[in-house]
Structure 1
């Protein structure tokens, strides 16, 4: 038991937890996007998808608790690593060089992560913790995206998500050991492609709904 505690209290252990939970969220995002895309099939198909999902009952509840646990681990571990890195280098370098393949995604991970957390809370308030009595999920979505301000916020949030995922995707694979010169460029391209799909896939939905309204 001590070796397990020591492992996950170390910097490497924390990064491993970040990687595993991050990959879990990537899987969730992919599934969530696939479900949301049914909205292009019309309100009946989208409502049918939502009803089928809710009919799973205990499975959905279990999935929500797993996601919540993963979120707590990911956020708290990420903030801990960010604080430790900040404390180990309290004074910024005089010259900030963009070396070692540093990208906007890698350089903004803590900040995009915090923005994503804030958006998820807002998103849940608008779609999950609402009165669903005598109203369909399509109507809830339509009402939310009838606000131009929320459409702009949602699209901006999806850009942030895409930016976060663009680095997090391949970084997670690197952390779990898939760091091979032959495969890493492919994983990096896959991460970039996935981030673009996520940004466009989610980001266009509120625009589409607002046009229909």
Structure 2
């Protein structure tokens, strides 16, 4: 038992161990984004679709719902904490007189830590607005689903009202563009960390990273843009 604990401690404190944990937590968040986007896009089906989806989520057992939320929070915190640790250690290991070659580095990789922190700030605001629903009186946001038999919170109208504010939509779009930059390098890093870094396969996973980022981010941005254009109203 002591040997197992020692092995685990050695792994999680080593540089390669932490990089693997960052990759795995990043993969969890990447997959979560796909599921979250699928739910968001239901708004294009009208109030019934998105409100039924939201009602289903909030009808889950309290323990299960909060278990998922806390699990995501733990994954997110571990991902951020270890990423910052590795970044600081990498900077400290550099000798000041060594030429810093950033020619081959992409903007995404060079500003990874900054796009990540921008996304963190956005996430706090996003949770404040749409998860905690601060400023949205439930009595004024009532909707009916299942042929009018079930009363629920009107998520559709909450989203439309929120994104009708140009500044709110602008901040959301900016954050999603930062997310694209983060995903582009992050997905590439996941492949590299698990050992898929040969010259033959590198163009393939680079394409996958960019394509995934474009699809995810275009999907998220389509919602506020559609609200501002009056497509969703």
Verify same fold: TM over 0.5: yes
Q: Which residue of structure 1 aligns with residue 10 of structure 2?
A: 6
**SS across alignment from 1:143:** helix
Of 123-132 and 159-168, more deviation after overlay is shown by 123-132
Q: Structure 1, unaligned stretches of length 5 or more?
A: none
Deviation at 1:59, TM superposition (A): 2.7
Residue by residue, what CA displacement relative to the aligned partner does 1:144-184 show, whole Å, maximum 9, x if unpaired? 11211011100011100011001101211221233344433
Deviation at 1:95, TM superposition (A): 5.9
Deviation at 1:90, TM superposition (A): 6.1
Deviation at 1:127, TM superposition (A): 0.4
Distance 1:93-1:203 versus aligned 2 partners, 3 A rule: farther
1:119 lines up with 2:137 in the alignment: no
* Structure index of larger Rg: 2
Residue by residue, what CA displacement relative to the aligned partner does 1:55-84 show, whole Å, maximum 9, x if unpaired? 223332211111001011001101111111
Q: Structure 2, unaligned stretches of length 5 or more?
A: 142-153
Taking the TM superposition and a 5 Å limit, the aligned residue runs for 1:63-102 are 63-89=68-94, 91=96, 96-99=101-104, 102=105
- Normalising by the residue count of structure 1, what TM-score does the alignment of the two structures yield? 0.92
The total of aligned residue pairs comes to 211
1:196 to 214, 221, 224: 214
Of 20-29 and 36-45, more deviation after overlay is shown by 36-45
- Normalising by the residue count of structure 2, what TM-score does the alignment of the two structures yield? 0.85
Of 128-137 and 166-175, more deviation after overlay is shown by 128-137
8 Å CA contact retained: 1:105, 1:167: yes
CA RMSD of aligned residues (A): 1.7
Q: Which residue of structure 1 aligns with residue 228 of structure 2?
A: 210
| Aligned mates of 2:100, 2:186 — CA distance in 1 | 26
Deviation at 1:119, TM superposition (A): 0.5
| Aligned mates of 1:92, 1:18 — CA distance in 2 | 29
Of 77-86 and 17-26, more deviation after overlay is shown by 77-86
2:50 to 46, 49, 70: 46
